[in-house]
A and B are shown apart, each in its own frame.
Chain A
Amino acid sequence: AAEDLADALANTRALAGVFEQRLLDSDDTVIEASRGSFALQRPGKFRWDYEQPYVQQVISDGQTLWHYDRDLAQVTVRSVGTALSGTPAALLSGATELDDSFVVRELEPGRYGLEPKAAEAEFESATVELEDGVVTALDIQDALGQRTRIEFFDVARNVSFKAGWFEFEPPPGVEVVGEAGL
Chain B
Amino acid sequence: CATWTGPRPAQTGDEAAWQARRAALQTVTHWSLNGRIAATGLFGFSGRVRWQQRGEQFVIDVAGPFGAGATRLSGSADQVEIRNAEGAWVTTDAQGDLQRAYGWTLPLAGLERWALGLPIPGQPARWVLDGNGRLLTLDQAGWTVTYERYTQPVSGPALPQKLLIDNGETRWRLLVDRWQLDQAAPA
Contacts and interface: CB of A to CB of B under 8 A. Distances in A.
Chains A and B belong together in one complex = yes
Interface of A: 23, 31-32, 48, 53-54, 58, 67, 69, 71-72, 74-78, 83-84, 87-89, 119-124, 140, 142-144, 146-148, 150, 175, 177-180
A147 B66 CA distance: 9
Contacts of A150: 66
A144 B72 contact: yes
Given A142-B85, A144-B83, A76 B38 contact: yes
Interface stretch (B1-9, B22-30, B40-48, B114-122): B40-48
Contacts of A54: 36, 177
A157 B112 CA distance: 48
Given A31-B50, A142-B70, A144-B83, A177 B38 contact: yes
B177 A140 contact: no
Contact of B42 (A32, A175, A180): A180
B113 interface: no
Interface of B: 34, 36, 38-40, 42-48, 50, 61, 63-72, 83-86, 103, 162, 173, 175, 177
A76 B67 contact: no
Given A32-B34, A123-B85, A146-B70, A179 B175 contact: no
B66 A72 contact: no
Contact of A144 (B39, B42, B45, B61): B61
Contact of A69 (B38, B43, B70, B83): B38
Contacts of B34: 31-32
Q: Is the interface of B mostly helix, strand, loop or mixed?
A: strand
B75 to A, nearest CB: 15
A177 B46 contact: yes
A87 B162 CA distance: 31
Contact of B46 (A76, A88, A89, A120): A76
Nearest to B50: A31
B46 to A, nearest CB: 4
Contact of B66 (A88, A124, A143): A88
Given A123-B66, A177-B45, A180-B43, 7 more contacts: A54-B36, A67-B47, A67-B64, A74-B44, A87-B66, A142-B85, A143-B83
Nearest to A148: B67
A144 B84 CA distance: 7
Contacts of B67: 23, 122-123, 140, 142, 146-148
A53 B178 CA distance: 11
A53 B177 contact: yes
B65 to A, nearest CB: 4
A101 to B, nearest CB: 14
B90 to A, nearest CB: 16
A148 B36 contact: no
Nearest to A73: B173
Contacts of B162: 71
A143 B173 CA distance: 24
B174 to A, nearest CB: 9
Contacts of A119: 86
A144 B67 CA distance: 9
A71 B46 CA distance: 12
7 contacts: A23-B48, A58-B65, A75-B46, A76-B38, A123-B85, A143-B70, A180-B42
A122 B65 CA distance: 11
Contacts of B85: 120-124, 142-143
